[in-house]
Amino acid sequence: MILKEEVLGRNEASYVREEKNMSRQPEEDENACFLGLGFPPQQRKSVVVGYALTSKKTKSFLQPQFEGLARNKGILFVAIDQSRPLSEQGPFDIVLHKLSGKEWRQILEDYRQSHPEVTVLDPPDAIQHLHNRQYMLQEVADMNFSDSYGKVGVPRQLVVKRDASSIPDAVNRAGLRLPLVAKPLVADGSAKSHELSLAYDRYSLQKLEPPLVLQEFVNHGGVMFKVYIVGEAIKVVRRFSLPNVSRKELSKSAGVFPFPRVSCAAASADDADLDPSVAELPPRPLLERFAKELRRRLGLRLFNLDIIREHGTRDHYYVIDINYFPGYGKMPEYEHIFTDFLLSLAQGKYRKRSGS
């Protein structure tokens, strides 16, 4: 099977075909992108996207090639000045953001209420739901998703908010199987929120620092699937992950061992010579149906899923993490996928206003 796979919704796919059929025009022809996308001639104008991102996120996301392509398609990115009232800036068609803090969330929520004509990606309250690992995977667990292509669930987990000395007994009462992955409870994108550890025995768990989440480790052949979601578009890539832990290895090992942030591993598994049973991507129909339902439940359009396949099975998958506005700069072909998504939002707004 192809090791990189793109699952596009009907609208996005049509835009990709449209863009491929167009010749590359110089910058002064930037409004040509709207031809054939449902905009009458008098409605051709730039789509203004205000962005509020950290400097690190700005650098990784707004790469020159991406900005150039967006400009040629009639999309202009404008930095939001956080020292000025948001309502005094713009006007924006879309607001793209990934900033933390209660004050910023309130500013954005007030702006959404007073400017309903602006698409905010995404609602701050919905994003906040993903910042706590106690609740992050709850919607996936509640879905109990399965179809003819497979089943998607979550590993069993335990939340420990304080008193590390009580962890061994709590793990025993919960019936969790070792080894366990220890993750900070807060998942706010900070370096600390990615300090993960693998625990081989119950008593070493007392060395951990709550608040945290303990998640059963599921053997998955050392390969993880990163499923990037941009509206209705989906892009899947493979990444190397933690190797399987055998019963024999578990019986001879003890302690808690930190491991690097798996999702940021530089080494992609897309070109590796791996066992097909491990390397095969999740079926497209399964991902399409699952992502559609999860988008609806989460109320989000920009996120990614870390998914693993249980080793020894063909169709049993687990979601182990969900991240809002992930590192799209690492996603293959993100420039085209993201610009098509922004144009689809603009087209949808025009159709809604015109009643068509």
Cis before 81 (ω within 30) = no
Is 98 marked within a binding site? yes
The verdict on whether residue 223 carries a ligand-binding annotation is yes
* 66 annotated ligand-binding residue: no
Residue 194 annotated as part of some ligand binding site: yes
Alpha carbon distance 120, 108 (integer Å): 8
Q: Is 255 annotated as a binding residue?
A: no
Tell me whether residue 89 is annotated as binding: no
Find out whether 215 is annotated in a ligand binding site.
Answer: yes
> Inter-axis angle of helices 64-72 and 334-354, to 10 degrees?
30
- The answer to whether 228 and 207 are in contact (CB under 8 A) is no
Does 220 appear as a known binding residue? Answer: yes
User: Per the annotation, does 172 bind a ligand?
Assistant: no
Q: Is 77 annotated as a binding residue?
A: no
Q: Is 216 annotated as a binding residue?
A: yes
224 carries a ligand binding annotation = yes
Q: Give 321-349 as a 3 state SS string.
A: EEEECCCHHHCCCHHHHHHHHHHHHHHHH
Residue 175 among known ligand-binding residues: no
Residue 188 annotated as binding? no
- Are the beta carbons of 324 and 31 closer than 8 angstroms? no
Determine whether the annotation assigns residue 133 to a binding site: yes
Q: Is 24 annotated as a binding residue?
A: no
Beta bridge partners of 160: 212
Residue 190, annotated ligand binder?
A: no
User: Is 306 within any annotated ligand binding site?
Assistant: yes
Q: Is 225 annotated as a binding residue?
A: yes
Asked whether residue 325 is marked as a ligand-binding residue, the answer is: no
39 annotated to bind ligand: no
Establish whether 136 is an annotated binding residue: no
d(Cα 210, Cα 129) in Å, to the nearest integer? 20
| Known binding-site residue numbers for 1D-myo-inositol 1,3,4-trisphosphate | 98, 226, 323, 327
| Known binding-site residue numbers | 57, 98, 133, 183, 194, 215-226, 241, 306, 321, 323, 327
| Known binding-site residue numbers for Mg(2+) | 306, 321, 323
| Known binding-site residue numbers for ATP | 133, 183, 194, 215-226, 241
